[in-house]
């Protein structure tokens, strides 16, 4: 938060992300597919995409001299995008899977359920839904997060099957704290 006189002012929202890339065409296609984004402007140097009424949500630039980042380097790990409801989240997972885009790993964090993807430049993108009512978020983070910091694995195929079979969302979203399985831990570190 910044201070403006005696009043603290927080930014109202995140507007967009800008990514440097070594593979512009692949990145454009990936973001068009993942977010059903539309390209509003494209040149050989960059592109501006949006998936809503914002002038752009994603900008991609093929800046000369940019090199691929080293694996496991420091910096931003991922950007998270949240869906309004379980049906849209599952439909997006199924649509992307049919297009050959699958998560690197999946986590039930308790407060959220998250699918973690990697774009063609290895940037992390989280597609998630909230599991806790907004008025309870801060209390949950202060008092429940420490019970199971990372959460546990989830199986989106199983969730989709159960969802389509009519199982209640309350049951599908139920959080049972478990130890992280070694395979999920390995995929997180890739």
> How many domains is the chain built from?
2
Residues 81 and 61 in one domain: no
Choose the final residue of a domain: 18, 41, 65. 65
Shared domain check, 172 and 135: yes
Cβ partners under 8 Å of residue 65, min gap 6: none
Q: Are residues 20 and 101 in the same domain?
A: no
The pLDDT tens digits of the residues spanning 105-115 come to 999 998 999 99
pLDDT band at 4 (very low <50, low <70, confident <90, very high): low
| Tokens (6 digits) for 138 | 């801060």
Answer yes or no: do 164 and 101 share one domain.
Answer: yes
- Assess whether 171 and 132 both reside in one domain: yes
For residue 33, give the CATH number of its domain.
Answer: 3.10.180.10
Please, what sign has the CA dihedral across residues 12, 13, 18, 19? positive
Q: Could you read off the pLDDT of 27-68 as tens digits, one per residue? A: 999 999 999 999 999 998 999 999 999 999 999 999 999 998
Q: For 105-164, write each residue's pLDDT tens digit.
A: 999 998 999 999 999 999 999 999 999 889 998 998 998 888 777 788 899 999 999 999
Q: Tokens 């995140």 identify what position?
A: 14
Q: Indicate if 90 and 175 belong to the same structural domain.
A: yes
Q: What is the pTM of this model?
A: 0.88
Does residue 45 share a domain with residue 24? yes
Same domain, 143 and 83: yes
* 86 and 55 in a common domain: no
Last residue in a domain, options 12, 38, 65: 65
The count of residues in the chain is 190
Nearest-angstrom CA–CA distance, 184 and 136:
28
Answer yes or no: is 72 within a domain: no
Residue range(s) defining the domain that contains residue 140: 77-190
User: How many other C-beta atoms can be found within 10 angstroms of the C-beta atom of residue 70?
Assistant: 8
Determine, yes or no, domain membership for 26.
yes
Indicate the DSSP class of residue 54: S
How many Cβ atoms from other residues are within 10 Å of residue 157's Cβ? Answer: 12
Does residue 27 sit in the same domain as residue 84? no
H or E stretch at 50:
strand 46-50
Long-range contacts of residues 140-143, Cβ cutoff 8 Å, at least 24 apart: 140/110, 140/111, 141/111
Answer with the one of 38, 65, 92 that is the final residue of a domain: 65
Question: In whole angstroms, what is the distance from residue 115 CA to residue 83 CA?
Answer: 11
């Amino acid at each position: 938060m910044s201070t403006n006189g005696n009043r603290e002012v927080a930014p109202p929202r995140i507007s967009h992300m800008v990514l440097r890339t070594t593979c512009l065409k692949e990145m454009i296609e990936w973001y068009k597919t993942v977010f059903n984004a539309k390209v509003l402007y494209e040149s050989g140097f960059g592109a501006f995409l949006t998936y809503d009424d914002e002038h752009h949500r994603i900008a991609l630039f093929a800046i000369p001299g940019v090199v691929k980042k080293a694996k496991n380097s420091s910096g931003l790990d991922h950007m998270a995008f949240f869906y309004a409801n379980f049906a849209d989240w599952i439909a997006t997972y199924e649509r992307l899977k049919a297009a050959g885009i699958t998560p690197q790993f999946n986590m039930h964090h308790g407060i959220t359920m998250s699918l973690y993807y990697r774009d063609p430049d290895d940037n992390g993108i989280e597609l998630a839904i909230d599991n806790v009512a907004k008025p309870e978020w801060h209390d949950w983070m202060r008092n429940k997060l420490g019970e199971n910091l990372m959460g546990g694995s989830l199986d989106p195929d199983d969730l989709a099957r159960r969802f389509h079979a009519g199982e209640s969302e309350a049951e599908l979203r139920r959080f049972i704290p478990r130890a992280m399985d070694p395979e999920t831990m390995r995929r997180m570190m890739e």
